[in-house]
Chain A
Amino acid sequence: MLSLVASVAMLAAQDQPPRLRTVLDNGAIVLVEPMPQERVVSVQLFASARYVPETEATHGFRHLIEHLLAVGDGGLDKRLETQACFLRASTLRDAMQIELTVGPTQLQLALDTLAGFLHRPTFTQAQIDKELRVMRDELAMRDDSLLLASAAWDAAYGDRGLDPLGTFDSMYRATPEKLEETYDRQFAPEGLVIAIAGPVDMDKATAMASRILVPLSKSHFSVAQGDRVGKPGRSQADAFGECRGAIVPGFDTPQTAAALSAALAIGSELPGCFVIYTPTTQNGLVLVGRTDSTSGLGFYVDGLANGNSLYRRGQSLAREWVQRQLRTASADADIRGLLLCQGAANRPELMIDQINAMSKEEFNAGIEAFKSGKTVIAVGTR
């Protein structure tokens, strides 16, 4: 074991303290950020979707796997909760995320639990069918904001913007064999990140997490698709409300900083608005919308001559939007892990740098990106 840890240390590419990012030989990454003031340790496993983009044929398979993994042996949740720990899993466009929230002395418990997800399970058709019954309810319960967002992605990116939650038409085609193949691609070691934040010892936590990842062999998969390309458009959702999406490049660009600032500024003028942006290295959408009304947002945005009066407010809100995600163990491990599984150099601070450097002209361009003709519009049909 000593030699193993030593080889990890030699391969480490490090961030500056107070956090340590370690890139392992197989491409997996461990990120540890000590946050001594936090009450809990958040331990998050991210598995990149780089080898398993959503397609019409596999739409929702990753989501189905997430459900089947999280169920575990049926007693996992009870065991964890008895120890005041909690497991949460979710499927995002760019990754699958499994989070263990534990106490300061329970890091090993969290890592042991996560290690269990790194061995491909055997799926059965009976398990799949049973879980699909529950997932039907999950899909039926999606909030209007998610339905509008999904419709906006569809309009902007077509089949490259499929909602990671999936649909029944595709998920009902899942078989154990298909899911196992998807699992292998989803959990390819070079796309794995363990992000740990909370009251932990940085070096010890890094060594403990590395022990789980080091034995995994690099995969032979290759990335099948280039970056998606968005276009303005319009779509409808079986929902109530409206939303607009600015088509933006990666998370660390001036355009994304400006669009996020603009969306938050617009939202501050229209009470009840939601803003959605999930940081990604790919082209994406910054969305602003409302689900309590079907009118007002488009009228307001198109009527804005410029955003000069909102510039400072938008910049403050965007900066705080990012910084707030760095203040709690769970949010910190979340954003850092998600970015790292898309590239070892990605850091949320790059977003803050762009927001701080944003000029008034760039902010106005961010506002323009939400105007008719340049934006993607999703409207509810209910």
Chain B
Amino acid sequence: MIGLVLALASVQANPVTDVIAPGAKVVAVDAIVRLPALGAREYAAAKVMAETMADEVDGYSQGDMRDMGARAGESLKITLMPDHIRIEFGALPAEADTAISYVGHILKNSRFPEDSIAKAEAEIPFRKKSLWATAIQPVKFDFRRVRREDVLDMYHRICRPENVWLCVGGPIDARDAENAWSAVLADWTVTKPPRLPANPTPLGEASDVPGRETMVELRGSSFPGNDPAMPTKLLALIGLGCGKGAAMFQTLRETEGWSYRQEAFLWPTPEGFEPRLIMASGDKTAPDDLAKGMRDQLILAVKNWDASDLARAEGMAQGIFERGFAMSPLYFNSSWPISGSLEDETFLAGYWTMKTGSPWNASRMLGEMALVSLSDFKDAAMEILTDSKAHVLPARG
């Protein structure tokens, strides 16, 4: 066992990703923990883990951490997504090292008290999400068979140096951040990771949404993060559903009057990404007919796209990726897209590396988008639509 621990301890950790923003008043610290494809029980354990991992941690008190965050107007947030857990914290620049240390303690020294786990398992099933949040993440958790040992197994399996991407943004010295992270890594003892079950039970999905609006979705085929056609696909998604000049807004809202809110976006999966188009509708048309109508109308719109639609998508891409418009197709938060905030740009820097093998580079992405021809733009949008499967979540009323 000793030999194994030593061997694992020598595993190369991922380098710290820095987003240098000299004018920022706070420092954003993000730890991204990669998740493998999980079955229902394992995903529920990951949910409980994310909920409770900061409750009791060796090395700091929760009150101290809250006070430190408050000095920067921040609080600790831990979010579970299909392919990662994000631990997000902010601090004043003078306390950046301590913030990194706190995040490190959460990753390696969480105690997971029994009462915290019991409380989380009792509360989470009764928590309500908005209809949009439900439609974005329709997963239904089943905590019935999740025990503390399952949560600990998950913790030890995924919270490992080689599985964590630390990103730090703000007025920082990259060497200081690297040193602070090295100190975290220095005494990070890892053991043999528990194995995941070979044939996990698939995740359950919600069958309806609260309220009076039905959620109609066209879910496209997933593709890997390093897909060379990424710029074309992203541009096609922007053409379909980002901004008020997009096909979804113009067709589904302005022409048909079916919907107030409708968006197209890229959703993370353990294998890569999935293009999704969602419309909330209170229309009286049968939901399945709405889904068919949505696909038919969008296909018609894409057939009629011309150079002005490509130019709009390129302009919108510039607005999103260069100017920070809050309507990105990159839906890597729990129910809203990545924004131009320091916190999200810091996160994206590390996350894109984890997903694609290359750091996020907005200028390069826009440069590649500028080379996309009208026919490729239309073909990519058409492929998303024709490959998509309809998912309908009727209004619960």
Chain A residues close to B by CB (< 8 Å): 37, 39-40, 71, 74, 77-78, 80-87, 101, 103, 130, 133-138, 140-141, 143-144, 240-241, 268-269, 271, 291-293, 312-314, 316-317, 319-321, 323-324, 327, 382
Residues of chain A with a CB closer than 8 A to B71's CB = 316, 320
Report yes or no: B319 in contact with A81, Cβ–Cβ below 8 A: yes
Query: Can you pick out 14 interface pairs between chain A and chain B where the beta carbons lie within 8 Å of each other?
Result: A81-B245, A82-B311, A101-B325, A133-B257, A134-B253, A134-B259, A137-B259, A144-B130, A240-B128, A268-B66, A268-B69, A312-B70, A316-B71, A323-B25
CA distance A314 to B73 in the complex (A): 9
Q: Which one, A81, A101, A319, contacts B244 given CB within 8 A? A: A81
Q: How large is the interface on B (under 10, 10 to 19, 20 to 34, 35 or more residues)?
A: 35 or more
1/0 per residue, CB under 8 A from A, across B71-115: the answer is 111110000000000000000000000000000000000000000
> In the complex, are the beta carbons of A135 and B245 less than 8 A apart?
no
Q: Taking the complex as formed, is B254 at the interface, i.e. its CB lies under 8 A from any CB of chain A?
A: yes
Partner pick for A86 among B67, B282, B319, CB 8 A cutoff: B319
Query: How far, in angstroms, from A86 to B66 measured CA to CA in the complex?
Result: 37
Q: Which of B305-320 contact A (CB under 8 A)?
A: 308, 311-312, 314-316, 318-319
A317 in contact with B73 (CB, 8 Å): yes
- In the complex, B23 has a CB within 8 A of chain A: yes
Closest to A35 in B: B23
Q: Do A39 and B70 touch (CB < 8 A)?
A: no
Contact of A81 among B72, B212, B315 (CB under 8 A): B315
The complex places the Cα of A271 from the Cα of B142 at a distance, in Å, of 22
B201-215 CB mask vs A (1 if < 8 Å, else 0) is 000000000111100
What's the minimum C-beta distance from A125 to chain B, rounded to whole angstroms? 15
Query: Which of A84, A85, A317, A323 makes the CB contact (< 8 A) with B70?
Result: A317
Which among A81, A292, A319 has the highest number of chain B CB atoms within 10 Å?
Answer: A81
Interface: B127 (CB within 8 A): yes
What are the interface flags for B255-292 relative to A under an 8 Å C-beta threshold, 1 for contact and 0 otherwise? 00101110000000000000000001110000000000
| Most interface-central of A103, A143, A314, A320 (chain B CB within 10 A) | A320
Q: Is the CB of B67 within 8 A of A141?
A: no
Q: Which residues of A contact B325 (CB under 8 A)?
A: 86, 101
Does B383 sit within 8 A of A, measured CB to CB? no
For B70, B73, B249, the residue with the greatest tally of chain A CB atoms inside 10 Å of its CB is B70
Min C-beta distance of B315 to chain A, whole Å: 4
Contact assessment for B312 and A81 in the assembled complex, using a CB-CB cutoff below 8 Å: yes
Which residues of chain B come closer than 8 Å to A133, judged between CB atoms? 257
Q: Name which residue of chain A comes closest to B128, CB basis.
A: A240
Q: Which of A71, A74, A82, A143 has the most CB of B within 10 A?
A: A82
Q: Which 7 A-B pairs have the closest CB atoms?
A: A320-B73, A78-B245, A137-B260, A77-B244, A84-B318, A240-B128, A292-B127
- Let me know if A382 and B128 touch, CB within 8 A: yes
Chain B residues, CB < 8 A from A77: 243-245, 249
- A83 and B75 within 8 A (CB): no
A-side contacts of B74, CB under 8 Å: 320
Distance from B210 Cβ to chain A, minimum over Cβ atoms (Å): 7
Verify if B123 is at the interface (C-beta below 8 Å from A): yes
Q: Does B324 contact A (CB under 8 A)?
A: yes
In the assembled complex, the CB of B369 is this many whole angstroms from the nearest CB of chain A, namely 12
A-side contacts of B249, CB under 8 Å: 77
- Among B212, B249, B312, B323, residue most surrounded by chain A Cβ atoms (within 10 Å): B323
Report the minimum CB–CB distance from A314 to chain B (whole Å): 8
How far apart sit A225 and B346, CA to CA, in the bound complex (Å)? 48
A135 near B315 with CB under 8 A, answer no
Tell me, in angstroms, the Cα distance from A375 to B325 when the chains sit together.
37
B261, A141: Cβ atoms closer than 8 Å: yes
Known: A37-B23, A101-B325, A137-B282. A83 touches B315 (CB 8 A): yes
Known: A141-B132, A141-B211. A82 touches B260 (CB 8 A): no
Note all chain A residues with C-beta closer than 8 A to B244.
Answer: 77-78, 81, 87
Given A101-B323, A141-B260, A268 and B210 touching (CB < 8 A)? Answer: no
- Given the known inter-chain contacts A140-B211, A143-B130, please indicate yes or no for A316 contacting B316, CB distance below 8 A: no
Knowing A134-B257, A134-B259, the reply to whether A81 touches B316 (Cβ < 8 A) is yes
Q: Tell me how far the C-beta of B87 lies from the nearest C-beta in chain A, rounded to whole angstroms.
A: 14
CB of B131 within 8 Å of the partner chain = yes
With A101-B325, A241-B128, A312-B67 in contact, do A82 and B282 touch (Cβ < 8 Å)? Answer: no
Give a binary string over B133-160; 1 marks a CB under 8 Å from any A CB, 0 the rest: 0000000000000000000000000000
* B25→A327 contact, CB < 8 A: yes
B141, chain A: closest CB distance, angstroms: 14
Residues of the A chain whose Cβ atoms lie less than 8 Å from the Cβ of B129: 292
Q: Does B311 lie within 8 Å of A137, measured CB to CB?
A: no
Which residues on the A side are within 8 Å of B319 (C-beta)? 81, 84-86, 101
Report the nearest A residue to B78, measured CB to CB.
Answer: A271
Q: How far is the CA of A380 from the CA of B334 in the complex (A)?
A: 23
The residue from A39, A87, A141, A292 contacting B131, defined by CB atoms under 8 A apart: A141
Residue of B nearest to A72 (CB): B244
Q: In the complex, which of the residues A39, A135, A136, A269 contacts B322, with contact meaning CB atoms closer than 8 Å? A: A39
The smallest beta-carbon distance between B253 and chain A, in angstroms, is 6
Docked CA distance A327–B250 (Å): 34
Q: What's the minimum C-beta distance from A18 to chain B, rounded to whole angstroms? A: 14
A271–B260 alpha-carbon span in the complex (Å): 30
Chain B residues contacting A37 (CB-CB under 8 Å) are: 23
Q: How far is the CB of A200 from chain B (nearest CB, A)?
A: 15
A135–B73 touching, CB < 8 Å: no
Additional 17 contacts, C-beta under 8 A, given A312-B70, A314-B70: A77-B244, A77-B249, A78-B308, A81-B316, A82-B308, A82-B315, A84-B318, A86-B243, A134-B259, A137-B280, A137-B282, A140-B213, A141-B131, A268-B66, A292-B128, A313-B70, A320-B70
